[in-house]
Chains A and B, each alone.
Chain A
Amino acid sequence: MKIIYSDALIVGGGLAGLRSAIATKEKGLDTIVISMVPVKRSHSVAAQGGMQAALANSVMGEGDNEDVHFADTVKGSDWGCDQEVARMFVATAPKAIRELANWGVPWSRISAGERTVIMNGQKEIIQESQDAHGLINARDFGGTKKWRTCYTSDATGHTMLYAVANEALRRNVIIHDRKEAISIIHDEKKAIGVIARDLVNGELIAYVAKGTMIATGGYGRIYKQSTNAIICKGIGTAIALETGIATLGNMEAVQFHPTPIVPSAILLTEGCRGDGGVLRDKDGYRFMPDYEPEKKELASRDVVSRRMIQHIRAGKGVPSPYGEHLWLDISILGRKHIEKNLRDVQDIAKTFNGIDPADEGSKGWMPVLPMQHYSMGGVRTKPTGESTTLDGLFAAGEAACWDLHGFNRLGGNSVSEAVVSGMIVGEHFATYCKERNLNANTSVISKFMQKQSDYLNEILAYNGKENIFDIKDEMRSIMQEEVGIFRNEEGLQRAVKRLEELLIMTKQINVKSKIRGNNPELNEAYRVPKMLKIALCVAKGALERRESRGAHYREDYIKRDDLNWLKRTITRWEAPEATTPTISYEELDIAKMELPPAFRGYGRKDSIIEHPQSMERTQEIEAFKATHPDMDRFELQEQLMPFELPLDYKKKNQRIGAEYA
């Protein structure tokens, strides 16, 4: 039996995993990162538009600070997030971006003086101050009050991931790529590592450590149309679920991005609209101002995606061989801007569609349609990143639900969360590993090893008529059609029923090649059942949640119901032979919120079932502010909703003009 020991084991080599690895190395811990792919291929690399952090360098970010970023994030989440986590996040994000600058991310910088920008379809001239010259620039993104999204052209995830990966290599983080974690080793109380499969030769390896972190990203590939990379199958999330002890949070909260390109489903960044691009219909008409007079194309993603589908349903979609779509027009930004700040977008449109978006007029318009993009749900953790129910298991980044995003994530908050959670959760994880001795019972390890080995042999021995590729395709179609942007009781019931049947059918297949080594069909045969379990968590969570909140929209319950549904969905897989998850809920406590539920400022105003406590809490906060006029914003915040951060991440962030205020 091959066993590899370390102090800290991290599954997943994207931004969250690698930044966590730096945190554990900082404490002198032997750290291994295992990844299905070379770490610089991780899906973090595909983030285009940018990273939110309230630096307030640009004149368009003037007045921005942690408070504004916090409010935007909470509203974006449709009050589904954990506000304490949101506070931790916004306080750390400016530090994260400055740390990344020190590690070499070539952030776009501000030039003092006049600059022409496009706002609301019009050219405007803005004046950047001399003090800001050479500081990190920011662009506008959806659902934000200020220009806060820092960027490197539209390859932000790439420069961030390379900087963090290079830094991890500098610190001698050990990276084992082409290894897939297929099971978490644990007893009743504690996780002590994973069983991984070497994807080159099929060998099973037990990675044993004092602490184990899941940082494997999202589960977008359970949908037919997704912007996610091929590897985003949710396997890391699924093996946490399969422990029967760890739980998942808000799995039905799935984000659909407004502007992937048709038909390849490759993302075109929100920066297109942030920089002034607009959406048009079959008549070339810019329709978003009619639906969202305030934020127009820059309402939150859930709102824009729904408005687009609504507009198509009203007969305004553009017909094409791939179904109806709408147009994204960035030609109004001008060729110079596109070739500097949206070059990957231009490259994608040229390569995959033969369209140069810098061409003037309708010639440059790109066909777009909302598609799955981000998984708000994930392994449920405490604000420290540790599983609420399984000791020794941590999760960070998109794979986790410490719950920064609630029911909708803001654009620019994903790579930001990945790095920030790597700093915060990584630090808690490092402390956990540092303070413990390795207490791994060899009989437990060999039991898990044997179980996985037997399972793979069992799969190879299946002698049924079904085909794993057909099962996967059907799962992805069901998720697309019944658990998509618009959901209803009947469709969701159909989905849950059929997904259960498909899960049973995964044991009625016949894998052609019987080798345990490098066998791509065998990979599918053990991955698809895991994906189906994730799909069932999403579909059942969506069925049970009879309200609409953020990205979860029920046509039969169109209101956000704070009275009954201000709670987090928790799913657990009780027994290995179960075909459906068990659902319970965690209440969100309005009395502890710094920002009580209200209207988001975009979306439908008349569609909230209010909770009486929301008003009480609002009045309580107002009264407190009125009776404490001498308190600054930091003191007030501390009184309203205290939060903690490790290291010196709670230190005040300096800004030009405002200094530490």
Chain B
Amino acid sequence: MHRVYEDGGREIVLTIFRHNPNDEDSIPHFQDYPIIERPGMTLYIALTQIYTSMDHDVSFDFVCRAGICGSCAMVVNGKPRLACRTLTSEFSEGKITLLPLPTFQHIKDLSVDTGTFMNAMTKRVEGWIVNNSPQDISTIEKPIDPELSDEIFELDRCIECGICLASCATKVMRPNFVGAVGLNRVARFSLDPHDSRSDEEFYELIGDDDGIFGCMSFMGCQDHCPKHLPLQKQIAYMRNKMVKVR
């Protein structure tokens, strides 16, 4: 009834950064992998094909392969993005260079450690609900304004893929910067009526140059966020709030 795919059939070349920092003999280098493009081919499909049929030693991270889990962020022809959602047909030259996501601990080839940073960031900004009043979960839940709940959901959609940090100039200068991922998290909890924290308490968490005052508004985070989160608006909103605290 309608055509689903139109591309396919040409030869494309994936140029992949290869290095294992845990192996003393490993020397960083690029390796070319020519493959035949298939209709609807994503980088997930292309890399899986390379791994299973050409080079059993190449490492990368995919989990959900549907743009939901945030595992597969990497630098694709100079831009940080989710590999699973990237179609090879987007690159008319047929040349695709892949590098691991910067600012995170490199594991091997295209694989990086995001878990350590994200868990530490969560602890740093106390990215959870704080509420010490006793709660009886057999009683009817606290009513929440439906629009407010949708607004919180909007910010809760962050998948911690790390692309905002890989796109961030501040992060290059300040390794401890919590990034848009951290600031968006705080904005999210500051909106939530379940959370009892005051602006003063949020200031204690992010009121410094590794927090809300570190952002230089270059907007790389918002430009590259695969979930299209309104990151700059949230950062501006939190900065405005935090400035008023002191």
User: Which residues of A approach B to under 8 Å, CB–CB?
Assistant: 37-41, 43, 45-46, 55, 94-99, 101-104, 106-111, 133-137, 152-153, 155, 158-159, 162-163, 166-167, 169-170, 175, 177-178, 200-201, 229-231, 263-264, 266-267, 284, 318, 320-321, 327, 340, 344, 347-348, 351-355, 362-363, 365, 367, 469, 511-513, 515, 517-521, 524, 648, 651-656
Contacts and interface: CB of A to CB of B under 8 A. Distances in A.
Nearest to A362: B1
A518 B113 CA distance: 14
Contact of A656 (B20, B85, B140, B146): B140
Interface string B160-192: 100000000000000000000000000001001
Given A95-B137, A102-B129, A266-B65, A362 B192 contact: no
A333 to B, nearest CB: 17
A344 B52 contact: no
A95 B138 contact: yes
Interface stretch (B115-123, B204-212, B217-225, B233-241): B115-123
B57 A513 contact: yes
A49 B150 CA distance: 16
Interface stretch (B9-17, B68-76, B92-100): B68-76
B66 A98 contact: no
Contacts of A136: 141
Interface in B41-75: 42, 51-53, 56-59, 61-71
Nearest to A340: B150
A511 B57 CA distance: 10
B194 A104 contact: yes
Contacts of A321: 5, 39
Contacts of B189: 104
A108 B66 contact: no
B59 A520 contact: yes
Contacts of B156: 104, 106, 152, 158-159, 162
A230 B115 contact: no
B36 interface: no
Nearest to A152: B153
B198 interface: no
Contacts of A108: 146, 149-150, 153
Interface centre among A38, A512, A648 (most CB of B within 10 A): A38
B128 A166 contact: yes
A41 B65 contact: no
A163 B128 CA distance: 7
Contact of B62 (A55, A94, A230): A230
Nearest to B142: A101
Interface in B131-152: 131, 135, 137-146, 149-150, 152
B68 A512 contact: no
B63 A41 contact: yes
Nearest to B107: A200
Contacts of B149: 106-109
B34 interface: no
A153 B1 CA distance: 29
B195 interface: yes
B243 to A, nearest CB: 26
Contacts, number: 217
B61 to A, nearest CB: 8
A177 B159 CA distance: 17
B25 to A, nearest CB: 10
Nearest to B70: A41
Contact of A229 (B51, B69, B115): B69
B40 A41 contact: no
A512 B150 CA distance: 52
B53 A520 contact: no
A158 B69 CA distance: 8
Interface centre among B1, B137, B144 (most CB of A within 10 A): B137
B178 to A, nearest CB: 15
Contacts of B197: none
Nearest to B135: A102
Contact of A178 (B115, B140, B195): B115
Interface of B: 1-2, 4-5, 20, 22-23, 39-40, 42, 51-53, 56-59, 61-71, 85, 87, 107-108, 113-115, 118-119, 122-123, 126-129, 131, 135, 137-146, 149-150, 152-153, 156-157, 159-160, 189, 192, 194-195
17 contacts: A37-B63, A37-B69, A38-B115, A41-B64, A102-B194, A104-B189, A106-B156, A107-B144, A108-B149, A159-B156, A169-B122, A178-B113, A178-B115, A267-B66, A355-B2, A520-B58, A652-B138
Given A107-B149, A318-B1, A515-B23, 7 more contacts: A96-B137, A106-B144, A355-B4, A365-B1, A511-B56, A518-B20, A518-B23
Contact of A158 (B22, B42, B68, B126): B68
A38 B114 contact: yes
Contact of A135 (B23, B141, B153): B141
Given A108-B149, A135-B143, A153-B153, A354 B5 contact: yes
Given A43-B64, A104-B192, A654 B115 contact: no
Nearest to B228: A347
Contact of B129 (A103, A264, A524): A103
Contacts of B68: 45-46, 155, 158, 344
A615 B213 CA distance: 72
Nearest to A653: B138
A169 B4 contact: no
Nearest to A473: B52
Nearest to B126: A170
A43 B69 CA distance: 8
A125 to B, nearest CB: 18
A43 B63 contact: yes
B153 A106 contact: yes
B6 to A, nearest CB: 8
Nearest to A202: B22
A39 B146 CA distance: 29
Nearest to B69: A41
B84 to A, nearest CB: 9
A38 B129 contact: no
A353 B4 contact: yes
Contacts of A99: 135, 137
A362 B39 CA distance: 22
A292 B116 CA distance: 50
B168 to A, nearest CB: 20
A109 B144 contact: yes
A517 B144 CA distance: 51
Nearest to B105: A200
Contact of A320 (B4, B22, B70, B157): B4
B115 A520 contact: no
Given A102-B137, A106-B156, A512-B56, A175 B22 contact: no
B145 A519 contact: no
Contacts of A95: 137-138
Contacts of B144: 106-107, 109, 134
A465 to B, nearest CB: 15
Q: Which 9 A-B pairs have the closest CB atoms?
A: A134-B143, A38-B115, A521-B56, A109-B146, A166-B128, A106-B152, A106-B153, A177-B115, A95-B137
Contacts of B131: 102
B138 A648 contact: yes
A101 B160 contact: no
A469 B52 contact: yes
Contact of A46 (B64, B108, B145): B64
Contacts of A106: 144, 149-150, 152-153, 156, 192
Contacts of A200: 22, 107-108, 113
Contacts of A163: 129
Given A162-B156, A229-B65, A469 B2 contact: no
Nearest to B48: A230
A169 B128 contact: yes
A37 B194 CA distance: 30
